[in-house]
Amino acid sequence: MIEFRTVTKQFPDGTVAVDALDLVIPARQTTVLVGSSGSGKTTILRMINRMVDKTSGDIEIDGEDIYSLNPVKLRRSIGYVMQNSGLLPHRKVVDNVATVPMLNGVKKADAREAALTLLDTVGLDRQLAERYPSQLSGGQQQRVGVARGLAADPNILLMDEPFGAVDPIVRAELQQELVRIQRELGKTIVFVTHDIDEAFLLGDQVVLLEKGGRIAQAGTPADILSKPASDFVATFIGADRGRRALRVEVVNGRSVVVDEDGRPTGVLQS
């Protein structure tokens, strides 16, 4: 469990990115932070592994103040996956995955062996292990990034718009893969995105953020869809338009679900 208590982050230029945030991120679930740019979502994420230092407030992991820990050690115990994979271009795929365990003191041969197993986990061919990141496609690099995030077997996995830079087909594939991995591993995942569909797809809990890291609404996707807390939320999730404004029409004696334009999207099963 990760807990933020009245956490504020003000950058040196005076911008208040996060203002008195209270947030509980439950263990072994996926929490998605979603908001437009400037909503402070990445700042919140990076305060968890102290890539960004809070200005005030308390951040605890399982009841332990993260400021009582060495930041480098803290980061080695938390997986991190970023946009554009952030792979080290001068290390082969297998060595990229083995990096964090090796920083933790695992022997190179053991770390590499474990890395190969992780490539299986994220659905990558072991033949790619000896390639350099630039020789992989964007989707493959992102999978390596996920494998690297999992390499130290962390309890917590932070994911900063990890699928933002790949094409929609590959993104859908990676999302499904993450759902599968999470079902198997049950990590505490904190996932940042600006894509509300991605948030609803992946999140057990979705936290919708307004400017300044203020929580507009937090809850399960069903909660938020069924009861948007404000006009801002309703607009952000597109509750009033397109394929979220569904209604039922009876056709040939069956209940057909149609969208705003009257296009059928499916049939209700009784």
Binding site for another protein (CB under 8 A): 49, 51, 72-77, 80, 82-84, 86-91, 99-100, 103-104, 131-132, 134-135, 148, 158
As measured in angstroms, the least distance from the Cβ of 103 to another protein is: 5
Task: Mark out the alpha helices in the chain (DSSP H runs).
Answer: 41-48, 71-76, 93-103, 108-121, 138-150, 168-185, 196-202, 221-226, 231-237
Our CB check for another protein shows the closer of 112 and 200 to be 112
What is the rounded CA–CA span in Å between residue 256 and residue 268?
A: 6
Minimum CB distance to another protein smaller for 49 or for 217 = 49
Nearer to another protein, 40 or 228 (CB): 40
d(C-alpha 231, C-alpha 235), whole Å: 6
Residue closer to another protein (CB basis): 88 or 246: 88
Q: How many residues does the chain have?
A: 270
SS3 at position 69: coil
Q: CB–CB of 50/27 below 8 Å?
A: no
